[in-house]
Structure 1
Amino acid sequence: MKYFLKRLMGFSLGPIIGALISLIQIRILTQILVADQYGVSGLYRNLILNIPNFLYIGLDQAFSREFHQAVSKKHLFQQAIIIPIGMGIVLSFVMLIFNQTIANWLFSDANAGYIVIWSAILLISMIVERFVLISIRMQEKAKEYSGFTILLKSLIFAVSLAMIALGIRDFRVVVFGMIFGQLLGDSLLFLRYRELLAWKDFVFDYDLIKKLLAFGFPLMVAMSLNSVLNTIDSLMLRSFSTKKELGFYAAGIAIVNMIGILKTAFATFWVPTAYRWHDEGKSMKHYKFISDAVLFILTGIFFGILVFRPVIMMILGEDYGSVQYILGLLCFPHIMYTLSETTTLGIVFSRKTYFNTLVSLLALIPSFFINLWLTPKWGALGAATASSGAYIMFYLARTYFSSRTGFYFNQSKHLLSICIMFIAAFINTKDYAYRLSITFGLALICLIIQFSTIRDGYQIWRQPEKWDFN
């Protein structure tokens, strides 16, 4: 167990320090940017982070799945990345041609077309970065992975500060920070792993590409739908509400990304570990305990955010006061996704990746209709409600289809805790009387429901020889 936790902390160190840097950055940005400008930058960030998911066509996941079986990691890397790069180049040309039209829609300023041009370059860089980082992750190089995460966050922060020093006080502070900080960080990463990017002896391997696509293509559809799911709230707010509400939503997302950082760290560590455990034939009790432990930690973080809401709001400032009412709901996408990573393993173990398409559809449909219903009325609160409901469905669907493959453990503890957290999130959308007392009471109920996790953890500590988490 100590070795397991040591590697987990190794992967978590970078994201945690990165989260602290992001919190400082949020504090600075929300003091100098009005809500509508922060909203525009948030929409840009959301889009630029999710667009690559359409271009990977699932080959990033296929690369992960085949990594340990491949004799030549470089050969596998180059075969997996060649098609996504080609698709990225095509999309980049489209962005170059229609840069003013895109800029006018996104920034309400056709003269900002140069930002779209730089974004086209960033898009290619992010595709290559994704595959290089997967290579690092699958080799379980925790310190190196964390080191790059810290470097990237630091560079984005530094460029943002430079923009502020130059007197810029609008969305460009965030956008330029992301573009140039990311490109600089990626340049250093590519230099470090230039051997993977040496194409001199490249030969297109049709059989391997066919095998990768067979695994990855169904995932491409699912990942594309997931990207739509991740951006639909912002797009609905942009279309049916105000830029100010979009700004509140973006600020709330930035705060709860603290959980998102932990989600990324856990998923980065968990995927290669779970694949290795599957190859080693680990028993189901190991997977169950990890799932229970993740639920316990996420529940604590969730109620911590609700209880210390006033303290958290000091980061954003008075102009963003409405954000406090949606924080609980905005936690659910991160909580549900992270938790589902421990229950969905049967889908990837069995290679039945077409289930992921059904999962994404089942999550996207309620998201669209709830957004259409509530976002015009409630603004950011409506979008947050739609997002939380969609990701609860995402977790349920992932767990169900995984169980169809034979990978399943009892979910009663999870389901009861999710219901209680959802009630707590809605109670905290208003300043109800005794709000804090009710929140504490619901947290206590969750603790009682999950007491068996504490008991199991104690037994593992007392009898580690019966549990092999290596």
Structure 2
Amino acid sequence: MNNKFIKHFLVIGGGTFISMIIGFLTTPIITRIVNPIEYGQYSIFTMYSSMALMVLCLGLDQAMVRFFYEQETLEYRRGLLLKCLKYPICGALIVSALVMCLSMTGLIQFELGSKALVVLCVYTIAQIIYRFSQLLVRLQYKSKLYSFLGIVQKSIYVIVALLLIYIGFWDNTFSLEVATFFAIIVCVIISICAEKQFWSFNKVEEKHCLISEKELIKYAYPYVFSMGVTTLFQYADKMALNIYCSYEEVGIYSSTMTLVHVFAIIQTTFNTLWAPMAVEHYSKDQNEKTFYQKGNQIITVIMFFIGLSLILCKDVFSLLLGEKYREAAYILPFLIFNPIMYTISETTVNGLVFKKKSNMQVLVSVGACLVNVIGNALLVPRLGCQGAAISTGVSYIGFWALRTFLSNKYFYVDFHLKKFAVITLITVLYAFYNTFVKFNICTVLGYFGCLIVLVVLYFDTVRWSLNYVLVTVKNIFERKRS
């Protein structure tokens, strides 16, 4: 882990922290105004929009990351952006037109109302544009701008949502949907204006981007299937709750996910930086693997420490949501495996990216999806939200395992998997206990027991991290004195 990575990590982390605090302070206000049923309906809207984004990008966002560093000229990167963006936009326009026609003719009765459906279609197109404009910012390591966009998006959403709910012109669910749409539009405008030199497509010529559309599509198309299955995998819990339970339980479950967003300061920051930096590192030296090992070990310690701490404080966090959402305390323990396993797997999946084995991503998604769908079908009817959380947590462990083992077939890195298996098993047992038992002395003892195991297993990593922090703090004080 070099100083460049840590510098950008701190900048983006600071912005993410501010966004997280805004959400952390305002979520309890919104959940006290909006009842679980309305929040559940809103979460279905965001679920559909996220599903549409993942599929309609056609994997070309991943292709842009992979090929961005092939050349450093503005003309090349402008041409690459155009080639990667035009098919997702065309696809989104066609799908939106089809959905609206089916809705207006009454051939299909969609779950969302007509107003929400219109907002959903336009919002999805805006999301696609924002996805690529954000990628430009990420891939150039413009961490201050990236952080600023995150803060603006969260702030606009909160301000507009509370204003619309207070005015009461629309129902609470539609007010939240409009606020979400307005926030993304503002961020699209800012990000495009900030990087306007990339969006001058009239200056693009074929000779500037030698990466052919055929090569881009060959790399990207497996992600279409992968993202489609991943979408089902990631939202199987909410869909199962929607089928077997009610909007109220969907709302409680979704509000619990907002508590898990305490991980966002690490997860979002790390994932934003890691993929482009890993690709850039590989392009410079294909044999140097210490960078990937150290990144994996550090993020493992950080993510498990935060996850265990979140389980310990689950009852405190659930109080913030209000009396109607008190069940969230028993849903949270297994949901931590979503950010933990996803973030750590970003450091172990490098082989599939470097060797352009995007077709293997389909196997990863299918395997994890099967686990989640079967788990939800078995557990949700019996345990409700707790069953959905357990199924989701287990499926993300499977997601990490498939990504890691398939990647190591093509680009082997020693990630000390035995140590990882031990701390994962212990955390699973701790999460299972706290899913069904109220806070007590065993919760505290179990927490410290897990931390001791984590420190013992990753002692060298913990010692290096502490030394780095101490040296950094010492240097800061010395600069101030001088």
TM-score range, shorter chain: over 0.9
CA apart distance, 1:191: 3.2
CA apart distance, 1:212: 0.6
Pick from 356, 365, 376 the counterpart of residue 360 of structure 1: 365
Unaligned 5+ runs, structure 2: 473-482
Deviations 1:231-261 (A, max 9, x none): 1111111111122211111111111022145
Q: What is the TM-score normalised by the length of structure 2?
A: 0.90
How many pairs were matched up?
A: 460
Pick from 458, 463, 467 the counterpart of residue 450 of structure 1: 458
2:139 and 2:103 mapped to 1: Cα distance?
37
CA apart distance, 1:57: 1.3
Query: How do residues 37-436 of structure 1 correspond to structure 2 at under 5 angstroms?
Result: 37-70=38-71, 71=73, 72-99=76-103, 105-107=110-112, 112-167=113-168, 170-201=172-203, 208-281=212-285, 283-409=288-414, 410-431=416-437, 434-436=442-444
Deviations 1:172-195 (A, max 9, x none): 232121112222322332333344
Q: Check conservation: 2:256, 2:331, Cα contact below 8 A.
A: yes
Q: Check conservation: 1:95, 1:102, Cα contact below 8 A.
A: no
Q: Check conservation: 1:102, 1:116, Cα contact below 8 A.
A: no
* C-alpha RMSD of the superposition: 2.3
Counterpart residue type for residue 439 of structure 1: Y
Tell me which residue corresponds to 1:439: 447
CA apart distance, 1:444: 2.5
Tell me which residue corresponds to 1:468: none
Secondary structure (helix, strand or coil) at the match of 2:202 reads coil
Residues 376/102 of structure 1: CA separation in 2 closer, same or farther (3 Å cut): farther
1:102 and 1:264 mapped to 2: Cα distance?
40
Deviations 1:339-373 (A, max 9, x none): 00011101111111111111111101111111111
Identify the range of structure 1 (224-233 vs 194-203) with the bigger mean alpha-carbon deviation: 194-203
Q: Check conservation: 1:152, 1:182, Cα contact below 8 A.
A: yes
CA apart distance, 1:207: 6.1
Q: Check conservation: 1:102, 1:113, Cα contact below 8 A.
A: no
Q: What is the TM-score normalised by the length of structure 1?
A: 0.92
Counterpart residue type for residue 402 of structure 2: A
2:460 and 2:371 mapped to 1: Cα distance?
33
Q: Check conservation: 2:133, 2:188, Cα contact below 8 A.
A: no
Deviations 1:8-30 (A, max 9, x none): 11222222211111112311111
Counterpart residue type for residue 435 of structure 2: T
Residues 99/15 of structure 1: CA separation in 2 closer, same or farther (3 Å cut): farther
Deviations 1:15-55 (A, max 9, x none): 22111111123111110111121111112112212211111
2:379 and 2:461 mapped to 1: Cα distance?
37
Q: Check conservation: 1:78, 1:196, Cα contact below 8 A.
A: no
Identify the range of structure 1 (377-386 vs 191-200) with the bigger mean alpha-carbon deviation: 191-200
1:286 and 1:193 mapped to 2: Cα distance?
30
Tell me which residue corresponds to 2:477: none
1:328 and 1:12 mapped to 2: Cα distance?
24
